[in-house]
Amino acid sequence: MISTGIVSLLLAAPSSATLLWATSYNDHTVTSLNLDKNSLTVLSKSLDCGSEPTWLTLDKPKSLLYCLNEGWGGAASITSYKTNNDGSLSALDVLPVLKSPVSSTLYGPNKGNLAVAHYDTSTFSSFTVRDPSDIALTGNVTYTLDKPGPDPNRQEVPHLHDAILDPTGRFIAVPDLGADLIRLFAIEGDAWKEIPPAQAVSGSGPRHGGFARLGGNTFFYTVNELSNTVTGYKVTYNADSTLSFKLLFDYSDHGEGGSVPAGTKAAELEISPDNRFVILSSRGENSLEIDNFDATNSTKIPSDPIISFRINPWNGALTLTQVAPAGGRNPRGFTLNKAGTLVASALQDDNRVVIYKRDVRSGKLGDLVAWATVGEGENNGPNYVIFNE
């Protein structure tokens, strides 16, 4: 039996509340949060995910949560949790893994497997989670480069940065920032096999991505960290169980003809639940101002943006809809609730999780709903947040 490290701050979440979980580097915790109307409060914190907890993958029907630990300050790992009704987490297993796991997705029959992208170790790996108290490695493949890419400081080796299940559940796409590729894997039951990758724009550094299915078409979009662009592809499902990606466009993540300040790094990409919008976050811009979260302080504070685009269902083109405040600096990760009516943003440089309203029809973010302090210390605060949905 695993020894858990949990700090409980409240006895129980109200039955009408919405639960969220956020990871933060600087206090090494997974924080349980309770959203009740316009109040976001901390319920408990778990220390079981290791030194640098990052990506969270939820299996809602089974009340399971998987947390990746990048392992900068120790051994990298995957922790499986049982999610409790009061928002707290009970650790089931902790498995040491290769360094820097940064993203994961469930796949296969009954979602019994976890696919993981490793950034520093240039590896795609898979694990059986059929028994979440006994996670086990089932396969991996590690990549190399013959020579550095166009940005030799960031593209000296492959850097796998995301793992995305396609809408059919038959394929996994993995953007590789170092190799300018979308690596592709075909799922065969619990197993997978590598299939020919899609070529990304040279020097773009694809970071995160998402599939959208509209009007009988399937599109794939990436946000690219090195070029600060968004790229669109038309996806074709081939008879030989492979995928073809046709490049549609590549332009600024602020829209065609847009630009960003020096030092900007594109971050997260989400597809809205209705598949009608692509939503991005951008770090290091400090291009917007918002009201201070301290009601006694009238000084405005800087914010990076969350940027929304409407998808043309026939050709996959994007139309800029809105550039809205993310709620502070360095929105490394954000997610939408299942209805698409709320956006939760993790502000890594401000030790803050912020929730905004979102209009499903227009795709625009609206009023502030609630916020909470998450993380302790300078920088490297919350980096990812998800709803319990």
pLDDT for 11 equals 45
Interacting residues of 139 by C-beta distance below 8 A, sequence separation 6+: 125, 126, 191, 192
Residue 215: which pLDDT band, with cuts at 50, 70 and 90?
A: confident
pLDDT digits (tens, 9 = 90+) for 73-118: 889 999 999 999 999 999 999 999 999 999 999 999 999 999 999 9
pLDDT for 14 equals 52
Residue 309: which pLDDT band, with cuts at 50, 70 and 90?
A: very high
pLDDT for 55 equals 98
Burial 319-338 (b: 16+ CB within 10 A, else e): ebbbbbbbbbbbbbbbbbbe
Name residue 125's beta-bridge partners. 116, 140
Whether the Cβ atoms of residue 32 and residue 73 lie closer than 8 Å to each other:
no
Residue 1: which pLDDT band, with cuts at 50, 70 and 90?
A: very low
> Domain residues of the chain, as ranges?
17-387
Cα 143 to chain centroid, rounded: 22
Tokens for 284, please give them: 């290091």
pLDDT for 12 equals 53
Share above pLDDT 70 across residues of the chain, in percent, rounded to a whole number: 96
Question: Alpha-carbon distance 318 to 212, whole Å?
Answer: 12
Interacting residues of 48 by C-beta distance below 8 A, sequence separation 6+: 2, 4, 5, 6, 30, 67, 79, 81, 89, 91, 94
Supply the mean pLDDT for the chain.
95
Region 267-293 average pLDDT: 97
Under CATH, domain 17-387 is a member of which superfamily?
A: YVTN repeat-like/Quinoprotein amine dehydrogenase (2.130.10.10)
pLDDT digits (tens, 9 = 90+) for 322-337: 999 999 999 999 999 9
Whether residue 252 has pLDDT greater than 80: yes
- What spatial distance separates the first Cα and last Cα of the chain, rounded to whole Å? 28
pLDDT digits (tens, 9 = 90+) for 374-383: 999 888 999 9
Whether residue 349 has pLDDT greater than 90: yes
Q: Calculate ∠ Cα 333-305-259, nearest 5°.
A: 115
Residue 165: which pLDDT band, with cuts at 50, 70 and 90?
A: very high
pLDDT for 384 equals 98
Residue that wins the pLDDT comparison between 14 and 314: 314
Share above pLDDT 90 across residues of the chain, in percent, rounded to a whole number: 94
Tokens for 258, please give them: 């847009």
Within 63-190, strands assigned E span: 64-69, 77-83, 89-96, 101-107, 113-118, 123-128, 136-142, 164-165, 171-176, 181-188
Question: Alpha-carbon distance 301 to 287, whole Å?
Answer: 10
pLDDT for 232 equals 98
Whether residue 9 has pLDDT greater than 60: no
pTM for this model (two decimals) = 0.96
pLDDT digits (tens, 9 = 90+) for 27-62: 999 999 999 999 999 999 999 999 999 999 999 999
pLDDT digits (tens, 9 = 90+) for 108-148: 999 999 999 999 999 999 999 999 999 999 999 999 999 99
Question: Alpha-carbon distance 190 to 312, whole Å?
Answer: 35
